[in-house]
Amino acid sequence: MQVWLTPGYGQGELSWNIAHPTGSPDVLSQLDYEDLELVTGELGVRLEYEHTPQTRLILESSIQFGSIRQGDAQDRDWLGDHRTDLVSLSTAWVDGDHVGRLSLAFGYQVPITQWLSLSPLMGYDYREQKINFIDGTQVVSVPNGDFIPPPPGRFAGLDSHYETEWRSLWFGLEAQLAPLPRHTLKLRAEYHLPKYDAVATWNLRTDFAQPNSFEHETNDGHGYRLQLAYGYELTPRWQLRLHLDWEKFRMEDGIDRLHFVEPQVATAYSPLNEVEWKQWNLSAGLAWHF
């Protein structure tokens, strides 16, 4: 059995956009959360059982939690197709909150040579992000009919958030190399089939319901996750570990449900065009073998 704890640092980006309920404009509104600085920690456990003289059964579980320290948010609205006729652009400061991930996996480790083994894997993954943003500034404001954005300049009272959940089955392959005594190198690639849900609170929109102003949902998408891990055996029981992780998830063809309370209680439905999440993370820590 192996247990590890690896604190780390990373950055993430989240973006989504919707169309008008009629389909034109094809991109009505887009939100981008960029340069999200993450302070993370991962706790994991891995068990390997000798299944046959030539293979080992792998059972693995890990949980990661990260605090969002800061970042930037940008909200844009258009009245023309293909992101033309920009009528509103506002920016905000990301002030928290967090990211999280729970991963379960099982597979078989098959030796190829004395220093190389391959492990087909499959598992379940749950991840979430919650982004809180404040200190809004209106940069572009072009009133058009009933659409009247705030005038240019800072606007007070912004304290909104967007919260996501991703649930996915995944399939992967792990290669482990041990070319020198006490040194190991692992490369893992995963392909994910996620389901996506999100809920948002837009606190300054008095015509929107509070706290659930709108929701997003889609089952159409995929994700990739890559991990490079290096281990150095300090003692027979303790190992120094370095991890470099990268992931990208993209969803499309979903539903945006916008809940109004003024001028009457109603729900409007719009196409959710796409959602994209990207993250990299660098971490270092210790693993204990027993």
Domain locations in the chain? Answer: 2-289
Query: For 58, phi and psi rounded to 5 degrees?
Result: -110, 130
Q: Identity (one letter) of the amino acid at 267?
A: T
Question: What residues are paired with 193 via a beta bridge?
Answer: 169
Answer whether residue 150 shows pLDDT above 80: yes
Token pair, residue 17, equals: 């956009």
Kindly state the DSSP code that residue 143 receives in the 8-state scheme. -
Q: How much is the pLDDT for 176?
A: 95
- Residues 259-270 have pLDDT tens digits of 999 889 999 999
Compute the Cα dihedral for 35, 150, 140, 29 and give only its sign.
Answer: positive
Cα→Cα distances 61→2, 17, 42, 45, 47, Å: 11, 33, 11, 6, 9
> Looking at residue 248, what is its pLDDT?
98
Query: What residues form DSSP beta bridges with 250?
Result: 222, 276
The pTM of the whole model exceeds 0.85: yes
Task: Tell me which amino acid residue 149 is.
Answer: P
| Domain 2-289 bears CATH identifier 2.40.30.10 | no
Query: Above 90 in pLDDT, residue 144?
Result: no
Q: Count other Cβ atoms within 10 Å, centred on residue 209.
A: 18
pLDDT at residue 59 in the model: 96
Tokens of 84: 């033309």
CA-CA distance, 268 to 142, in Å (whole number)? 24
62 Cβ contact list (under 8 Å, min separation 6): 42, 43, 44, 45, 101, 102, 103
Q: What confidence tens digit (pLDDT) does each residue in 26-72 have?
A: 999 999 999 999 999 999 999 998 877 778 999 999 999 999 999 99
Q: Give residue 146's pLDDT.
A: 79
What are 162's two structure tokens? Answer: 């967007």
Q: Is the pLDDT of residue 184 over 90?
A: yes
pLDDT at 106 over 90: yes
How does pLDDT run across 206-236, given as a tens digit for each residue? 999 999 999 999 999 999 999 999 999 999 9
